[in-house]
Copies of this chain bind each other. A is one copy, B any other.
Amino acid sequence: MGVQATQIFAPATSLAVPAGLPVDSLPHPAADQIELAAVLHALSDPMRLQIVVGLAAGDQRPCGSFDLPVTKSTCTHHFKVLREAGVIRQRLEGTTRLNSLRRDDLEQRFPGLLDSVLRAAAA
């Protein structure tokens, strides 16, 4: 049930990015490979919950737009955990990672779960 076993690597695309950087190759699980334990683990950290709440408004946001009281590398780690669990999608635009919530995928896989977590986080 680990995240490792369920990661699906998205095929590289022709996005123009600076030489030496990976070409939009951030790993995301496919919707039907998203695992409950991994999602709950991803949501079980207060910082990551805050990120998810921030993305729930619907916009794509760069990592730096979240005012979190942690170092940049810790912040990057939190986004990676969320992405690998299937909670968020990260899209490279140049050297920026744009983040969005995989609301539809999560709702399809685990109906009602994300909404109940968002309600609980707002309570």
Which residues of A does B touch, CB under 8 Å? 1, 36-38, 40-41, 43-46, 49, 109-113, 115-117, 119-121, 123
Does B49 contact A44, Cβ atoms closer than 8 Å? Answer: no
Does A116 contact B110, Cβ atoms closer than 8 Å? Answer: yes
A-B pairs, 3 with minimum CB distance: A41-B44, A40-B44, A110-B120
Does B110 contact A113, Cβ atoms closer than 8 Å? Answer: no
Does A111 contact B116, Cβ atoms closer than 8 Å? Answer: yes
Does A44 contact B46, Cβ atoms closer than 8 Å? Answer: no
Does A116 contact B121, Cβ atoms closer than 8 Å? Answer: no
Q: How far is the CB of A39 from chain B (nearest CB, A)?
A: 8
Minimum CB distance partner of A38 in chain B: B44
Query: Would A112 and B110 be within 8 Å (CB), given that A36-B120, A41-B41, A117-B40 are in contact?
Result: no
Interface centre among A40, A113, A115 (most CB of B within 10 A): A40
